[in-house]
Amino acid sequence: MERSLQPTWAAKRAALTTFMTIFDKAKKTLQQLSVTDAHGVESLFTELRAAAERELAESISRGAPNPAQREKLAKALRDRWLARKGGLVAQVDENWLKTAGKDLKPAVGKQFNELRRSTVGLEFEKLIEAVPVKEAPVVQMGLPLGFEPAHATPRDLTLPGYRRPLGSIHPVIRMQREIEDIFLRLGFRIESGPEIESTYYNFDALNIPESHPSRDDWDTLYIDSKTVLRTHTSPVQIRSMEKYGAPLYILIPGKCYRHDNPDSTHSPMFHQIEGLAVDEDITFADLKGTLDFFAKMLFGEKVRTRFQPSFFPFTEPSGEVAVSCFVCDGRGCRVCKESGWIELMGCGMVHPQVLRNGGIDPDKYSGWAFGLGVDRFAMVKYDINDIQLFFQGDVRFLEQF
Ligand code: FA5
């Protein structure tokens, strides 16, 4: 069938709304805007929230030349968005929420509540608190935006704009992603679990008895006698076994908390990554092979791994893995503290009772697990001598990554 070259009525309307500002759209009903589904509603509100955030951020970044001007600016901004009559939020209430059909009402209502929450910062008192009073800088060719006196000199459009510097990925998260990428290539999936955890998942299900020192108040941050800030990512082993059963190949990154005094290698909040593989015929050789491959991918082909016996209540046998120093190749240097080796992580074969606690039959399946400290990995990889630097938010440190 030949298609007409004349645009349809709906196409004309869609083209028109494309060129409307979000403030024009707030004056129309959803029907007039041809918004017929929840996705369209969400886009509209996202655009409006972004406009509110932008106006707030611009006012804060420009500031006002004196307290009286700040009051004027705060009042104008508040009225523009929050005035009961004619404010943008009120317009949205009238035109989008009240006129929405039955099928769209829940989506519009939800988005409207979110809009109200995100415009709280535009209340008068909040604006007075947030907008700084800044001395007007002396400029030769005119005044920057926001500093015009009443007898405004024409703006100098050749002045540089306000540049907002781009952020970068935090070094701990960068490290975490690098580790995740290696295991994702091996077919592992990423899992997560709650940071506020029950003592059952954090301790009991992992075979950690009442008498174990890690359960002491001195080591663990308790919310109440049965709830803790998780001390490791291992509880997600049990949660995932319960949820998915076997076979299971997962990587579990996340924040952990311990009653540790901050020093150069300890932080009360830190990051771990747990690895867990459960399948038929899994042996210690699989564990060794996988972790050796992992170390070579992360630190370079030349490194060697060393496995030494250790103890964790939830693995049997258990081990500590070290890697030959990737800086000095094992000869001894500052990075490996002259030992030639860098301690990497704890690991072992999943204890049969732990498999059972996760609902998996240990006569049919076996598994291995490891747990490593991401912050300590980042310290080694980026040669950082104090873990506290990661959490102080000092831009001079963070912008190096
Ligand atoms: C565990 O937490 C075990 N769940 C690891 C495990 C998982 C073993 C699976 C076997 C099988 P550990 O307490 O050693 O183990 O902690 C693991 C790593 O977390 C440490 O090697 C260290 O890198 C890091 N870590 C522990 N406490 C802190 C802290 N306060 N600050 C920074 N990193 C820490």
pLDDT tens digits, 216-255: 888 999 999 999 999 999 999 999 999 999 999 999 999 9
Q: How confident is the model at residue 139 (pLDDT cuts 50, 70, 90)?
A: very low
Closest alpha carbon to 208 in 359, 312, 355: 312
Centre of ligand 1 to C-alpha 398, Å, is 24
Residue 14 in this model has a pLDDT that exceeds 60: no
What integer pLDDT is reported at residue 141 of this predicted model? 46
Q: Is residue 300 situated within a structural domain?
A: yes
- Alpha-carbon 124 to chain mean position: 31
139 vs 18, more confident? 18
Q: Is residue 58 situated within a structural domain?
A: yes
Domain containing 232 — which CATH number?
3.30.930.10
Average pLDDT over residues 198-214: 95
* Highest mean pLDDT (candidates 1-5, 40-44, 212-216, 279-283): 279-283
Of 92-96, 315-319, 354-358, 396-400, the one with minimum mean pLDDT is 396-400
What integer pLDDT is reported at residue 62 of this predicted model? 85
How far apart are the C-alpha atoms of 234 and 63, rounded to whole Å?
48
Of 186-200, 211-225, 305-319, the one with minimum mean pLDDT is 211-225
What integer pLDDT is reported at residue 217 of this predicted model? 83
Domain boundary among 130, 154, 182: 130
State which of 208, 214, 270, 288 you would mutate to test the pocket of ligand 1, scoring each by most atoms of that ligand within 8 A of its C-beta.
Answer: 270
Per the CB < 8 A criterion, the answer to whether 146 and 62 are in contact is yes
Q: Is residue 124 situated within a structural domain?
A: yes
| Residue 263 and residue 336 in one domain | yes
- Alpha-carbon 238 to chain mean position: 24
Concatenating the DSSP letter of every residue in 230-296 gives: -SSSTHHHHHHHHHH-SSEEEEEEEEEE------SS--SEEEEEEEEEEETT--HHHHHHHHHHHHH
Per the CB < 8 A criterion, the answer to whether 348 and 319 are in contact is yes
Percent of the chain with pLDDT over 90: 72
Q: Which residue do the tokens 């306000």 mark?
A: 162
For ligand 1, atom 19, the nearest C-alpha belongs to 373
* Residues of the domain holding 223: 171-398
| Residue 207 and residue 116 in one domain | no
Whether a cis peptide bond, with omega within 30° of 0, leads into 352 is no
| Residue 218 and residue 359 in one domain | yes
Q: pLDDT tens for residues 324-334? A: 999 899 999 98
Distances (CA, A) of 188 to 99, 240, 251, 277, 391: 48, 13, 6, 8, 29
Return the ligand 1 atom nearest residue 214 CA.
13
**In the predicted model, what is the mean pLDDT of the chain?**
89
What integer pLDDT is reported at residue 155 of this predicted model? 76
Residue 203 in this model has a pLDDT that exceeds 80: yes
Q: Is residue 89 situated within a structural domain?
A: yes
- Residues facing residue 198 across a β-bridge: 227
Q: Is residue 278 situated within a structural domain?
A: yes
Number of folded domains in the chain? 2
Average pLDDT over residues 131-142: 62
| Residue 120 and residue 180 in one domain | no
Per the CB < 8 A criterion, the answer to whether 267 and 388 are in contact is yes
Q: How confident is the model at residue 99 (pLDDT cuts 50, 70, 90)?
A: very high
How far apart are the C-alpha atoms of 62 and 36, rounded to whole Å?
39
Q: Is residue 99 situated within a structural domain?
A: yes
Average pLDDT over residues 373-382: 95
The pTM assigned to this predicted structure is: 0.65
For ligand 1, atom 29, the nearest C-alpha belongs to 266
Average pLDDT over residues 104-121: 93
| Residue 261 and residue 381 in one domain | yes
Percent of the chain with pLDDT over 70: 91
Domain boundary among 103, 130, 157: 130
Centre of ligand 1 to C-alpha 12, Å, is 62
Q: Give every CB contact of residue 344 below 8 A, 6+ residues apart in sequence.
A: 291, 295, 305, 321, 322, 323, 372, 377
Centre of ligand 1 to C-alpha 272, Å, is 7
Angle CA 345–270–329, to nearest 5: 40
Angle CA 246–247–253, to nearest 5: 95
| Residue 203 and residue 114 in one domain | no
Q: How confident is the model at residue 388 (pLDDT cuts 50, 70, 90)?
A: very high
Residue 202 in this model has a pLDDT that exceeds 90: yes
Per the CB < 8 A criterion, the answer to whether 363 and 241 are in contact is no
Domain boundary among 98, 130, 162: 130
Q: pLDDT tens for residues 341-375? A: 999 999 999 999 999 999 999 999 999 999 999 99
| Residue 366 and residue 248 in one domain | yes
Centre of ligand 1 to C-alpha 371, Å, is 6
Centre of ligand 1 to C-alpha 312, Å, is 11
Q: How confident is the model at residue 293 (pLDDT cuts 50, 70, 90)?
A: very high
Residue 18 in this model has a pLDDT that exceeds 80: no
| Residue 84 and residue 233 in one domain | no
| Residue 115 and residue 210 in one domain | no
How far apart are the C-alpha atoms of 5 and 49, rounded to whole Å?
37
| Residue 355 and residue 242 in one domain | yes
Q: Which is it for the CA torsion 76, 78, 84, 86, positive or negative?
A: positive
Q: Is residue 137 situated within a structural domain?
A: no
| Residue 75 and residue 223 in one domain | no
Per the CB < 8 A criterion, the answer to whether 83 and 124 are in contact is no
Return the ligand 1 atom nearest residue 233 CA.
4
Centre of ligand 1 to C-alpha 382, Å, is 19
Q: Is residue 307 situated within a structural domain?
A: yes
What integer pLDDT is reported at residue 140 of this predicted model? 44
Ligand 1 interacting residues, C-beta cut-off 6 A: 232, 234, 258, 260, 266-267, 270, 272, 274, 312, 315, 345-348, 369-373, 375-376, 387
| Residue 220 and residue 356 in one domain | yes
Q: How confident is the model at residue 399 (pLDDT cuts 50, 70, 90)?
A: confident
Q: How confident is the model at residue 17 (pLDDT cuts 50, 70, 90)?
A: low
